[in-house]
Amino acid sequence: MGTPVNIIVGSHVWIEDPEEAWMDGEVTEIKGRDATIVTTNGKTIVADISSIYPRDTEAPPAGVDDMTKLAYLHEPGVLHNLACRFALNEIYTYTGNILIAVNPFRRLPHLYDIHMMEQYKGAAFGELSPHLFAVADTCYRAMINEQGSQSILVSGESGAGKTETTKMLMRYLAFMGGRSAGSEGRTVEQQVLESNPVLEAFGNAKTVKNNNSSRFGKFVEIQFDKHGKISGAAVRTYLLERSRVCQVSDPERNYHCFYMLCAAPPEVIS
């Protein structure tokens, strides 16, 4: 719901639009519950006063890095702030201690190199620009200082970038946790990352929006010793979308593993 108390003639507001999602405009007239808004592109819209939201005219054009600083933390305000930052190639934004990531749909290697890891190592949360590594570093230090388990929840819709985010988190934790080699000379991080293609073969499928979409969820546990070095890892929970096995919607496909098995030579199948 909007904030009717704050809406008067002359107020700058956000109004929902079927094409643009949200448009900004100015209230020119109010009659009972109906408000007349003239948008910035010249449209005149009459809407119920409860469906419009106040717009902060003093918000910085480049947006804010922590959305708790916004005067109005409502849907159009949040989306506009994310859009302003995304236009400047800033894909990460905080809301308190929550990190919001907008998928750039392209590689940004400079954001995840060793130099960037070094910058966030030991930095206070919020001291530097919002970043995935800041969340991972805060979690790692809380685990060391409090001697207790920590969790990072990675959530989002299909194609949001959850799988890549999880890989980057593991890379940073391996960077902080020493990279102790296992029995075969491979690091724990390598072993965990190498297990991903196997899990994805059995849990990824083609969807309308994504040719390689994870249709499963997993709980990855990374174990550390008393010195803060990685000592092991385990996939504790693996949740599969079982309905896809017996029913596939056109033009989607079943799990990749079925097609791999069909194309594999007999000796591999057996």
Q: Are residues 41 and 156 in the same domain?
A: no
161 annotated as ligand-binding: yes
Q: Are residues 41 and 124 in the same domain?
A: no
209 annotated as ligand-binding: no
Q: pLDDT digits over 190-200, tens only?
A: 777 677 788 88
What mean pLDDT do residues 51-80 have?
94
160 annotated as ligand-binding: yes
| Any domain includes 22 | yes
Query: Can you give the pLDDT at residue 185?
Result: 61
- Tell whether the model's pLDDT for residue 270 goes beyond 80: no
Confidence of residue 137 (pLDDT cuts 50, 70, 90): very high
| Any domain includes 122 | yes
Rounded to the nearest 5°, which phi and psi values hold at 137?
-65, -40
| Any domain includes 239 | yes
Q: Is 110 within 8 Å of 116 (Cβ atoms)? A: yes
Evaluated on CA atoms 182, 192, 139, 238, the torsion sign reads negative
Q: Are residues 150 and 30 in the same domain?
A: no
If one counts the domains in the chain, the total is: 2
Question: Please, what is the average pLDDT of the chain?
Answer: 88
Q: Are residues 121 and 223 in the same domain?
A: yes
Q: Which of 21, 36, 54 is the last residue of a domain?
A: 54
- Per DSSP (E only), the strands in 97-229 are 98-101, 204-205, 213-214, 216-224
Query: Can you give the pLDDT at residue 214?
Result: 85
Give bridge partners of residue 233 from the DSSP assignment.
222
Q: pLDDT digits over 80-92, tens only?
A: 999 999 999 999 9
| Any domain includes 219 | yes
Domain span holding position 250: 103-266
Q: pLDDT digits over 221-239, tens only?
A: 988 988 888 888 888 878 8
Q: pLDDT digits over 84-120, tens only?
A: 999 999 999 999 999 999 999 888 989 999 999 999 9
| CA separation for the pair 136, 120 (Å, rounded) | 9
What mean pLDDT do residues 244-259 have?
86
Query: Can you give the pLDDT at residue 198?
Result: 82
Query: Can you give the pLDDT at residue 183?
Result: 47
Q: Are residues 136 and 49 in the same domain?
A: no
Please report, rounded to a whole number, the percentage of residues in the chain having pLDDT higher than 70.
93
165 annotated as ligand-binding: no
Closest Cα partner for 66 from 111, 126, 132, 152? 126
Confidence of residue 127 (pLDDT cuts 50, 70, 90): very high
Determine which of 61-70, 121-130, 181-190, 206-215 has the lowest per-residue pLDDT on average.
181-190
Q: Are residues 156 and 261 in the same domain?
A: yes
267 annotated as ligand-binding: no
Q: Are residues 46 and 136 in the same domain?
A: no
Confidence of residue 27 (pLDDT cuts 50, 70, 90): very high
- Tell whether the model's pLDDT for residue 3 goes beyond 60: no
Q: What is the CATH number of the domain that holds 20?
A: 2.30.30.360
Query: Can you give the pLDDT at residue 1?
Result: 41
Confidence of residue 180 (pLDDT cuts 50, 70, 90): low
31 annotated as ligand-binding: no
| CA separation for the pair 65, 126 (Å, rounded) | 9
Q: Are residues 40 and 146 in the same domain?
A: no
Rounded to the nearest 5°, which phi and psi values hold at 186?
-95, 145
| Any domain includes 74 | no
| Any domain includes 44 | yes
Q: What is the CATH number of the domain that holds 111?
A: 3.40.850.10
